[in-house]
Structure 1
Amino acid sequence: MSSSAFTINAVVTTFGGKLYKLTHTSPTLKASIDANVFVPPQAANEKVPVLIYLSGLTCTPQNASEKGFLHAWAAHYGLAIIFPDTSPRGLELPGEHDSWDFGSAAGFYVNATQEPWAGHYKMYDYITEELPELVFTDPEFGSKLDGSRVSLSGHSMGGHGALTLFLKNPGKYKSVSAFAPISNPINAPWGVKAFTGYFGEDNKDLWKQHDATELIGNYSGPTPDILIDVGKGDGFYQQKQLLPENLVEASKGTSYEGKVNLRLHDGYDHSYYFVSSFAKDHIEHAVKYLSGKSVL
């Protein structure tokens, strides 16, 4: 049996399954990085499908796994969840920790082309290639998780990541959903700051390649419904950081017209109180496409 690339820092029993808290050294990122993996109880008897959940600005794998309660519903439906980190760790690059919305914990799920980020901030390659390959071939997880059945979800910056990774890789993922995603980052302050830093101010064509609102018009592939939930009480929604309506508008006249299900909810904010309130819906959305089963 091959040795694991991961250091297991803790194993937590929860809802009949196991949450593994992991660390490994990534050749893609040239850095250390954390990840959590939830394995549901059904994996004792069969390979189970997988949801990759991408977290938002300032987050680590702990936020979603400890506050989002996605694994509670995943355990019910027999779904594994991979919770990646949001950036490389331990690099101490110049300016990396200067602001909460760029650099550390703010990798935006892109491959940076500008220095000093280009050598390490390759979160797109890490999420789409390295991390799943490591998990699906690991001696602890390889016999339990089905790497042919994978979906995406995410929150805020992670919602942006989930949408763009899905749209940039037709057919790779069975479905996608998002909580309060940054849906049109080239027109949102967060996205402008991140893309200027990671790609350069003048490389607007590359900016568009990582913007769901720009990508959806050229998408060609399977079209499972896209579920998006946003709280009307979310200050970032009110400040035009999220712009989900732009994505819906851009879908008109495309293969996704009428298939972007944007739900706006009175009172809800941007926090994990919001995520946990609708976690069941997003797990059921993934299960529908991963297992081909109706949910009860």
Structure 2
Amino acid sequence: MSFKTNATIAQFGGQLLKLTHDSKVTKTPMNVNVFIPSVKKASKLPVLVYLSGLTCTPDNASEKSFFQYFASKFGFAIVFPDTSPRGADIAGENDSWDFGTGAGFYVDAIQEPWSKNYNMFSYVHKELPEELAKAYPQLDFDNVSITGHSMGGMGALVGFLRQPRPYKAVSAFAPIGNPSVVQWGEKNFGNYLGEENKSKWAEYDPTELIKKYKGDDSTPILIHQGLGDNFYEAQLKPQNFVDAGKHYKGGIDLRLVDGYDHSYFFISSFVEEHAKHHARYLGL
């Protein structure tokens, strides 16, 4: 598999690459942005994966989060995947903003017609890092961490707790903490995984996963949540995740911050704390 470079943008001494490649998992072209800081050629770069929220493309976070400044400062690369396949031509995938295009929910769909293309769990955690490692050998996917926002915060927590690859740390901005009990989760899980298949829903629900987590639980989980977020009580419910994870030894550091909404103004305000969290556990 080869990556087509659509743009190379100089930023903070490094380069932001806007790439496209053909995915065997989604069976569609996929866009991904990768920030590579300036380091010695012999250096292997730790990697932070950033999963975006509903309606986003790889450009939203790379243009608005300011993560690249801190990635350059601390010396890690960032991968910004897309949020869904695009152009799968499935009836109904563009009918609403919170399902289908831009809303892959980071699951591997098992229901038709979605199962052919909507396999974002395998794409994000397996295919994309494996292919990027081949194309950009300076990226060290054995030293990788994960974060995300909203739907992407949920996806980051799920990836860390399920361990499809050995993520060193996880953090989240306003994650969907208990998707099985909110409208966004019910809509997406119901369509992608089946209305009656609640055991499958639990495989992608951070609150359900942490109850049974058996991995190394010594790394703290960092979460920021704005109290001015219109989705906080109805859709996100991070406290459900915290309550379910009281046994987690590293602790879940849920930081509730007054006045902040669900936007990138919120994310950019606290991105430094998340960058420091990941830099620490990436060994930087």
With normalisation by structure 1, the TM-score equals 0.93
Partners of 2:164 and 2:20 lie apart in 1 by: 30
1:190 positional shift:
0.5
Report the secondary structure of 1:228's partner residue.
Answer: strand
Aligned pairs for 1:143-182 (under 5 A) are 144-169=138-163, 172-182=166-176
Tell me if 1:233 matches 2:228.
yes
2:269 counterpart residue number:
277
Partners of 1:7 and 1:101 lie apart in 2 by: 29
Amino acid at match of 1:15: F
Q: Which runs of 5+ in 2 are unaligned?
A: none
2:48 paired residue among 51, 61, 68: 51
Cα RMSD over matched residues? 1.2
Partners of 1:271 and 1:174 lie apart in 2 by: 26
Q: Deviations over 1:132-167 (max 9, x none)?
A: 0011110xx21x211210000000000000000110
Amino acid at match of 1:201: E
2:33 paired residue among 25, 32, 36: 36
Q: Deviations over 1:63-117 (max 9, x none)?
A: 0000111111111000100000000111121000000000000000000011110
Tell me if 1:17 matches 2:9.
no
1:64 paired residue among 55, 61, 64: 61
Q: Which runs of 5+ in 1 are unaligned?
A: none
Is the alpha carbon distance of 1:171 and 1:27 closer, same or farther for their aligned partners in structure 2, counting shifts above 3 Å?
Answer: closer
Partners of 1:136 and 1:268 lie apart in 2 by: 37
Higher mean C-alpha deviation, range 62-71 or range 166-175? 166-175
1:45 positional shift:
4.6
Tell me if 1:260 matches 2:260.
no
Q: Deviations over 1:174-203 (max 9, x none)?
A: 000000000000011111110001011100
With normalisation by structure 2, the TM-score equals 0.97
1:76 paired residue among 73, 89, 102: 73
Moved over 3 A (4+): none
Tell me if 1:116 matches 2:113.
yes
How many pairs align? 283
Partners of 2:70 and 2:186 lie apart in 1 by: 35
